Amino acid sequence: MKTPHILLIVGGGIAAYKACELIRLIRKAGMTVRCVLTDGGAQFITPMTLAALSENEVFTTLWDLKNETEMGHIQLSREADLIVVCPATADLLAKMAAGISDSLATTVLLATDTPVLAVPAMNVRMWQHAATQRNVAKLRGDGVQVVDPDDGAMACGEYGPGRLPEPVAIMAEIERALGSASSSPPAGGRGEALRGKRVLITAGPTHEPIDPVRYIANRSSGRQGFAIAAAAAEMGAEVHLIAGPVHLATPPGVTRIDVETAREMAAAVDAALPADIAILVAAVADWRTADAADQKIKKTGGALPVLQLAENPDILAGLAGDPRRPALLIGFAAETEHVVAHAQAKLARKRCDWIVANDVSGDVMGGQNNAVHIVTGQGVESWADLPKDQVARKLMEKIADAVR
């Protein structure tokens, strides 16, 4: 088996020091690694350090006469099995999203057709800024895997999302990305089963604001929907994933649209049509506050505030009645009792083709495993408790058989 080769692009930021430990873990896993050190990264660590740890030449400039005589940036962009940008600063993410190539690192990224994994690290306000979030959404839509940063204390003294994940966690993302790329079945097999099909998937919860700091939500982690999106992409489908607010990496080859509320999700579903297959996994909030407060609601010591609720759009039923209805429409039902009976009633009420039902009275929401019942007009098929990625693959195989 070919030894995986990683090209590590080290951006500028105090978190660059963690790249040293990451290199050690990459090599310990039996992979080879070369490094591109940006000008910003060189303010925190030296080329000598990276060269000693990787036992390979470190590249720092686009204007190296020897390397660029041989089109070194093109060679670097082609020879890797995975390009990892770590830390990916706000500046680097912005340039990647805009297609700017004003340095060796950004030119390599623009010239590559290799999978790219970006691991952001920056100040919490920079990460939460609308411009950064737009850039992240654009990159994910372009197929770049962007890992959500950790919450924690930062070198600047502030606290929140923006902290670089620990090297062990980044290494797990690298192995996952390589596994996704290498485990796709060969052409003509299951890897081609959904070639030419457009699949629409919703995943995660929705957040319905009460005021600027509070919201109505549920415990959905989004893991099952993301696993289904990954399995569909591995089988050759064109996958559009509409995700509620979750901290999960976008599966390779998946176009991701991030939303927050049920109404935003409904609009995104409408915009993503037409589709051949729709799998609505998201746990959409049934209700929202009729009038969310513009300012934080304060405790006054008197009467409790009264929340007037309004019903959210029924995305599944709406899609069932849409002239652009997908040929195969699948809904999910999270139940705590009478799971199959409630799912059968939902199948009839929503007028969809299948309902995938599960019992969420335990730790399914947020957990790693799932036991589901596939409810159709022909009957019920019950599956044993399985890891969510195995449930996803099994479901997509059943779907592929159904749409042949």
Q: Where are the beta strands (DSSP E) in 177-321?
A: 198-203, 208-211, 214-216, 238-243, 254-258, 277-280, 287-289, 309-311
> Beta-carbon neighbour count of residue 189 at 10 Å?
11
* Exposure b/e, 255-273, CB count within 10 A at least 16 = b: bbbbbbbbbbbbbbbeebb
Spatial contact of 3 and 152, defined as CB atoms under 8 Å apart: no
Provide CB contacts within 8 A for 107, sequence distance 6+.
62, 73, 101
The answer to the question of whether 346 is labelled as a binding residue is yes
* Residue that wins the pLDDT comparison between 94 and 72: 94
Q: What would the mean pLDDT of 65-83 be, rounded to a whole number? A: 69
- Does the annotation list 2 as a binding residue? no
Instruction: Report the alpha-carbon distance of residue 321 to residue 327 in Å, rounded.
Output: 12
Return d(Cα 118, Cα 165) in angstroms, integer. 12
pLDDT class of 364 with cuts at 50, 70, 90: low
- In 218-311, where does DSSP find H-type helix? 223-234, 262-272
Q: 286: annotated binding-site residue?
A: yes
Sketch out the chain's domains with CATH numbers: 5-182 (3.40.50.1950), 190-402 (3.40.50.10300)
Closest by CA to 34, choosing from 18, 21, 23, is 23
Query: pLDDT category, 8, cuts 50, 70, 90?
Result: very high
Query: Which one of the listed residues 20, 35, 86, 156 is annotated catalytic?
Result: 156
pLDDT score for 22? 96
Whether 352 sits among the annotated catalytic residues: the reply is no
The token duo for 217 is 């939500």
pLDDT, tens digit (0-9, with 9 covering 90-100), for 136-188: 999 998 889 999 888 877 777 788 889 999 998 899 889 888 875 544 443 33
pLDDT of residue 386: 87
The 10s digit of each residue's pLDDT in 226-236 is 999 999 998 99
Q: Residue 322, annotated ligand binder?
A: no
For residue 5, pLDDT over 80 is answered with: yes
* Cβ-contact 13, 87 below 8 angstroms: yes
pLDDT at 276 over 50: yes
Average pLDDT over all residues of the chain: 89
Average pLDDT of the segment spanning 36-53: 95
pLDDT digit string, tens, across residues 294-316: 999 998 877 888 899 999 999 99
